[in-house]
């Protein structure tokens, strides 16, 4: 797979503003990956492709969801969630990406999930904190991401859930499960650090 080909193909799928967002997500993902010693090339690929299907027509996304046997409950939730799991299937079928960690990073970048890998956390966070993002709470998540991915992911999930609840919108169940799992992980990390300091 040629990186430049991937970049050009993705650019054709996106609006200029979303393309600029994608480039910022890729830069952020590479930086975070290097900090936590994850392969930055894999992070860059996942970041480039994370919004590949963002502007596909609803009927095309629905067709992919049904044809690929993706969770049918997706269709009962905000359509902003659809492009991520479809994007993972497109990456596999059209770009021959077989790395499950890259595919999962694309698949779960909007919802999160329990037991996220380091690469999944990086793409989830890079999408959330890239420098063009401006919304309440993002600066705190940026600060946390510099020292603790788990704390940053937990805060981002908390913010997202509160945002949806305040607007009377449904929360996708996987996001709630991701938040609870990350809360447990953060508590385990804190307990381990306390034990090590004794």
CB-based contact 12:85 (threshold 8 Å): no
Give me the tens of pLDDT residue by residue for the chain, a chain 198 residues long. Answer: 688 999 999 999 999 999 999 999 999 999 999 999 999 999 999 999 999 999 999 999 999 999 999 999 999 999 999 999 999 999 999 999 999 999 999 999 999 999 999 999 999 999 999 999 999 999 999 999 999 999 999 999 999 999 999 999 999 999 999 999 999 999 999 998 888 887
Q: At CA 129, angle to CA 182 and CA 61, rounded to 5?
A: 80
List the CATH number of the domain containing 102: 1.10.3210.10
**Number of domain units in the chain:** 1
35: domain range? Answer: 3-197
- Reported as half-sphere exposure (CB side, CA atoms, 13 A), residue 159 has a value of 18
């Amino acid at each position: 797979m040629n990186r430049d080909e991937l970049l050009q193909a993705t650019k054709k799928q996106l609006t200029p503003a979303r393309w600029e967002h994608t480039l910022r997500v890729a830069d952020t993902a590479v930086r975070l990956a290097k900090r936590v010693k994850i392969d930055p090339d894999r992070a860059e690929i996942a970041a480039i492709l994370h919004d590949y299907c963002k502007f596909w027509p609803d009927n095309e996304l629905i067709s992919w969801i049904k044809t690929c046997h993706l969770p049918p409950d997706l269709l009962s939730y905000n359509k902003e969630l659809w492009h991520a799991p479809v994007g993972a299937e497109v990456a596999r079928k059209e770009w021959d990406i077989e790395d499950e960690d890259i595919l999962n990073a694309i698949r779960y970048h909007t919802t999160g999930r329990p037991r996220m890998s380091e690469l999944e956390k990086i793409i989830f966070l890079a999408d959330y904190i890239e420098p063009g993002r401006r919304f309440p709470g993002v600066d705190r998540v940026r600060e946390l991401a510099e020292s603790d991915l788990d704390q940053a992911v937990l805060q981002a999930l908390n913010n997202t859930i509160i945002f949806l609840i305040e607007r009377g919108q449904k929360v996708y169940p996987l996001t709630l499960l991701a938040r609870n799992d990350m809360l447990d992980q953060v508590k385990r990390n804190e307990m381990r650090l306390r034990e090590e300091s004794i």
